[in-house]
């Protein structure tokens, strides 16, 4: 929907407008505010495990979520799944290499 308000000034710069358009719901901050050319798929915050507990507080099972762990830390809520191809945000941290995983 296009608003017909040419008499109003723009609230933010063109750079910020591009960042807002590139941001997916569930990202911890605006897209393209992290290192240049890096995606969420390379971030250590993408994907986390969550424990499901019963009313007594006992852990029943664990589930893997595809959302941003930093988003969960900041808001206290599970966000929607963030695609791995999304441009990284300012909270980007490189994934740690798994020492058990063999590289050939």
DSSP secondary structure string, 29-89? S-TT-SSTT-BGGGBTTEEEEEEEE-TTS-EEEEEEEEEEHHHHHHHSS--PPPPTTSBP-
Determine, yes or no, domain membership for 6: no
pLDDT digits (tens, 9 = 90+) for 12-49: 888 888 899 999 999 999 999 989 999 999 999 998 88
> Tokens 């798929």 belong to which residue?
41
Residue 5 within any structural domain of the chain:
no
Q: Please give the angle made by the CA atoms of 57, 58 and 64, to the nearest 5 degrees.
A: 100
Domain assignment present for 40: yes
Measured in degrees and rounded to the nearest 5, phi and psi for residue 87 equal: -65, 140
Tens of pLDDT, residue by residue over 62-95, are 888 888 999 999 999 988 999 989 999 999 998 8
Looking at the domain assignment, is residue 2 inside a domain?
no
Could you tell me if residue 80 is inside a domain?
Answer: no
Report the Cα–Cα distance between both ends of the chain, in Å, rounded.
51
Whole-prediction pTM: 0.74
How many domains would you assign to the chain? 1
Classify residue 89: in a domain, yes or no: no
Do 29 and 12 meet the contact criterion of CB atoms below 8 Å apart?
no
Structural domain for 65, as ranges: 14-75
């Amino acid at each position: 929907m296009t608003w017909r308000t040419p008499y109003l000034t723009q609230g933010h710069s063109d750079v910020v407008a591009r960042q807002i358009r590139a941001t997916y719901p569930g990202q911890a901050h605006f897209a393209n505010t992290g290192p240049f050319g890096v995606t969420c798929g390379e971030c250590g915050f993408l994907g986390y495990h969550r424990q499901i507990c019963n009313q007594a507080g006992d852990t029943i099972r664990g589930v893997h979520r595809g959302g941003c762990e930093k988003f969960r830390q900041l808001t206290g809520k599970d966000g929607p799944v963030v695609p791995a191809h999304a441009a990284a945000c300012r909270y980007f941290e490189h994934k740690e290499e798994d020492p058990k995983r063999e590289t050939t």
